[in-house]
Amino acid sequence: MTGTALLSWKDRPARRAVLDFVERTCGDGPDAVPVGERIAVFDNDGTLWCEKPMPIQLDFIIRRLVEMGEEQPDLRDRQPWKASHEKDYGWFGRVMDEHYAGNDADLGVLAAGVLSAHGGISVEAFEEQADHFLRTAQHPGLGRPYLQCVYAPMVELIGHLQANEFSCYIASGGGRDFMRPISQDTYGIPRERVIGSSTSFSYSGDEHGGTITRKPEADYLDDGPEKPVRIWNRTGRRPLLAAGNSNGDVPMLEFTQHADKPTLRLLVLHDDAEREFAYTRGAETALRRAEAEGWTVVSIENDWTTVFPA
């Protein structure tokens, strides 16, 4: 086993569980796993970077919905343009809370607006907009650039795994193409290892190499039961390690199970109101499963000496 110890992790059970897992899978003992089978998957929002008071991508989308409402004032009478124009961010939060509680009555309304926000533009144009936003916008409450709202201990964990020849993937409910521009710089995870939600696309050929255009319709939402499916589609393997923070991550954590290999399932607990945010809404089922099945709960307050990069 190689790599730097988890310096931002306190010497508590969560850190010891990680180090023991890596020692077993990458050492010389009977539980050692071949390099090609060392797969780790991470949710993004709330697991690798801050998701409150709203997911970072939602801020990106709301700004576009506001622009659309200015261009077409009639849209302001409809959701989600109405909530965006009126700065009623609680509406978005209620839709997502209801989704995680199993009620998707308004999710389709939100999805229709989200998909139309960047429909009809090329994949390159979307990436340029996302990249610019992520590298310039600031978190509204923490007063930090968004790319400084990643969790330093989780970046250390990814680095430690990669130093021991794990292939790390992001498996997020957020947009795959929103995260790709910054995944290498921010997490050390190459863009081709980003698994996330996606729109549909169309291609038109021309003498300049053709254009792939985003269509205002969903291809898939990489959340809940879809996460294991997308992980399998991309990797062809069950992960050895998975990390999440919400009910939507439970199927991914379930899927990370082997009869003959070590596994580690991490659940990030947001319980530090002073340094970040304290909340469990949307994670109730995950926390019950963690307690019942022995998943490793990572307390931000108790397990991390620091939360964000200096």
* pLDDT score, position 105: 86
Measured in whole angstroms, the distance separating CA 115 from the mean position of its chain's CA atoms is: 18
Query: Backbone phi, then psi, for 191, in 5-degree steps?
Result: -60, -30
Cα–Cα distance measured from residue 156 to residue 20, given in angstroms and rounded to the nearest whole number = 16
Cα–Cα distance measured from residue 299 to residue 155, given in angstroms and rounded to the nearest whole number = 16
Question: Which DSSP string corresponds to 132-192?
Answer: HHHHH-B-TTT-SBGGG-B-HHHHHHHHHHHHTTPEEEEEEEEEHHHHHHHHHHHHS--GG
Beta bridge partners of 213: 122, 202
Cα–Cα distance measured from residue 11 to residue 4, given in angstroms and rounded to the nearest whole number = 14
Cα–Cα distance measured from residue 288 to residue 307, given in angstroms and rounded to the nearest whole number = 24
User: End-to-end alpha-carbon separation of the chain, Å?
Assistant: 28
Which stretches of the chain score pLDDT less than 50? none
Query: Which residue, 64, 70, 244, is CA-closest to 137?
Result: 64
Q: Where in the sequence of the chain do the CATH 3.40.50.1000 domains occur?
A: 13-50+146-303
Cα–Cα distance measured from residue 288 to residue 54, given in angstroms and rounded to the nearest whole number = 24
CATH number of 13-50+146-303: 3.40.50.1000
pTM, two decimal places: 0.94
State the CB neighbour count (10 A cutoff) for residue 205.
8
* pLDDT score, position 103: 85
56-71 and 107-117 helices, crossing angle to 10°: 70
Judge contact between 47 and 149, C-beta under 8 A: no
Q: Residues near 271 by Cβ (< 8 Å), separated by ≥ 6?
A: 278, 280, 299, 300, 301, 302
